[in-house]
Amino acid sequence: MRQTAAILFFPLIPWLWPGTLAAAESSDLVEMRTVRSLAAETAEVFRLQAERRVNAIYARTMTENAVDQLHDLDQSAGGEGAALHRAIAETVAALNHQDSAALRAIAQRLFIMAGPRGPAD
Amino acid sequence: MGRLIEITLGIMTAVGGFVDISELVFAAQSGSRFGFALIWAFAFATIGIIVFGEMSGRVAAIAKQPVFNLMRQRLGLDLGLLTLLPAVAVNIITCAAEVGGMALVLQLLTGWPYKLLAILSTACLAAIVWALPFKWIERVFGLLGLLMLTFVAVAAAIHVPWREAAAGLIPQIPRGLSTQEIPSFAYFVVAIMSAVLFPYEVYFYSSGAIEEHWSAKDLMMNRLTTIVGFSLGSLLAISLLINAAVLFRPLHIDPQLPGTAALQAAIPFGETGLLLALFGMLFAISGAAIETCLSSAYSVSQFLGWEWGRYKRPHEAPRFTLAWLASFAVALAVVLTGIPPLELVEWAVVFSIIVLPLTYLPLLLIARDRKYMNEHVNGRLSNVLGWGFYTVLCAAAVAALPLYIVTSGGQL
């Protein structure tokens, strides 16, 4: 079984190794993009709520879930990544004030910092 | 006339029951991250599920054999067991993801706590499976899942560049991807194939055919249900992708949860659209939760030769009843540990593609065996498509785990 696994995975080693290193290096980038997505998503929720296009329960639950996710991200980042911690703190503050414009601005700033997920248009 | 209604209901049920939480998540994320470039992956995988779904229904109708009976006969006890254990594990992880998804959607509708809703949802599902006959379970959730057509209406209401979207049907790697992003794109292709071809779908479909006592006269319905029903169901998933590409991608929203996907409907249709989308998602995910749970019970019971079937009263098939109750209980326990549903979806998708080749091998072998199938044996097209897809699935199974590790579950 081990021999079979070794034979199967051997050709992948040169390809996997740089990828695994890249994964470790890019962890901050991934988290930054997650913060950006949460900021953009909640900005849209607040905009639609202001136009009475989504109800209060939906908007409140989406906000609470976003705050929970941001707290989890903050904790998992530990002492590393000052820029990430700052971005999370700013996003949580904007969420608490239901400030759609501030959230959009954060999302835009993080887009410039972290780049697109997927191909650039 | 009665037959026509039966066929129409069968097709509509297949459409409504096609999408589950993994397709919801991966379709929306694919559109948001890669635009229209992954539409072909959904179309390609849909042909695969049509081929294997039709084959499993035909084998069930003619050879009267569900998948796990075949597995034990064809693969032997050891290899059969090696398939059974991961298949049940994948079914339970998928069921947990669906229960978590239900709780998330209900939370958006009620504002109640997530874990309480997970408990209530599981209790409700168990009561429904206990009380309703098979056909009712299949039809109720399939038909109510048609509320998901809201997402097709969204695609019609927003301004989609249809020429660009149609170009997404051509297999491609989008331009502008960095060397780091190419493995992520490949991971999404594998994940979409896995989400569309989930093994529980054939376990449930073929067991359902036996529950409903299909015979040769049902082969036309089997063919129509798989071809028309699954194709239209796939359109739902593709609509989610297209909407995400048009509405979320410019805003840099990378949808991780069902609530974000529902936002697609609120943008053009306001609160009515939002509620229709949320209820559609709720019924589609609930149906999938029941299917995954029953699939675990079907698999174990068929493999071990127990009495099984929802057409029997619970006390007439006690070990089967205990098996599906235990599946729900374990799935709920997994949800209550606090593992996020998205993580469960990713595990389910990665591990199910590894199980898929073992699931489909005995099916392919029986479907071409004239001893079992008589004149209903695979034709040339079924054989070519079946073995062609089987080869692709084997390649995807080998690539799944390395891609998951290298891309941190497609996050890079």
3-state secondary structure B219-232: HHHHHHHHHHHHHH
Distance between A98 CA and the closest CA of chain B, angstroms: 17
Per-residue pLDDT, B157: 97
Alpha carbon B384 to chain centroid, angstroms: 24
Retrieve residue B331's tokens: 């799935």
- For A118, other C-beta atoms within 10 Å of its C-beta total 25
Cα separation values, B144 from B52, B132, B136, B137, Å: 25, 16, 12, 11
Q: How many residues are present in chain A?
A: 121
Retrieve residue B160's tokens: 């989609």
B76 Rama sector, left if φ>0, alpha if ψ -120 to 50, beta otherwise: left
Q: H helices of chain A, where?
A: 2-9, 13-25, 27-50, 56-77, 82-96, 100-114
Q: What is the ipTM of this complex?
A: 0.90
pLDDT less than 70: residues of chain A: 1-26, 79-80, 116-121
Domain count, chain A: 1
Domain count, chain B: 1
Please indicate, yes or no, if residue B55 is contained in any of the structural domains: yes
pLDDT values of chain B reduced to their tens digit, one per residue, 412 residues? 567 777 776 787 778 678 899 999 899 999 999 999 999 999 999 999 999 999 999 999 999 888 888 878 877 888 888 889 999 999 999 999 999 999 999 999 999 999 999 999 999 999 999 999 888 888 888 889 999 999 999 999 999 999 999 999 999 999 888 888 899 999 999 999 999 998 888 888 899 899 889 999 999 989 998 999 899 899 999 999 999 999 999 999 999 889 999 999 999 999 999 999 999 999 999 999 999 999 999 999 999 989 998 888 888 999 999 999 999 999 999 999 999 988 999 999 998 988 899 888 888 998 999 988 999 999 999 999 999 999 999 999 999 999 999 998 887 7
Alpha carbon B145 to chain centroid, angstroms: 13
CATH number for the domain spanning B58: value is 1.20.1740.10
Q: Which residue segment(s) compose the domain that B328 sits in?
A: 2-406
Retrieve residue B383's tokens: 């054989």
Distance between B273 CA and the closest CA of chain A, angstroms: 9
Please indicate, yes or no, if residue A80 is contained in any of the structural domains: yes
Distance between B248 CA and the closest CA of chain A, angstroms: 8
The DSSP secondary-structure symbol of B45 reads H
Please indicate, yes or no, if residue B113 is contained in any of the structural domains: yes
Q: Do B406 and A44 touch (CB under 8 A)?
A: no
Quick one: closest CA in A to B176, which residue?
A119
Per-residue pLDDT, A26: 62
All residues of chain A having their beta carbon less than 8 Å from the beta carbon of residue B184 are: 118
Point out the residue among B109, B271, B408 whose CB comes nearest to the CB of A30. B408
All residues of chain A having their beta carbon less than 8 Å from the beta carbon of residue B183 are: 19
Please indicate, yes or no, if residue B411 is contained in any of the structural domains: no
Please indicate, yes or no, if residue B66 is contained in any of the structural domains: yes
Main-chain dihedrals φ then ψ at residue B158, nearest 5 degrees: -90, 170
The DSSP secondary-structure symbol of B407 reads T
Q: Which residue segment(s) compose the domain that A103 sits in?
A: 26-114
Please indicate, yes or no, if residue B412 is contained in any of the structural domains: no
Per-residue pLDDT, B105: 97
pTM: 0.92
Q: Do B266 and A16 touch (CB under 8 A)?
A: no
Please indicate, yes or no, if residue A21 is contained in any of the structural domains: no
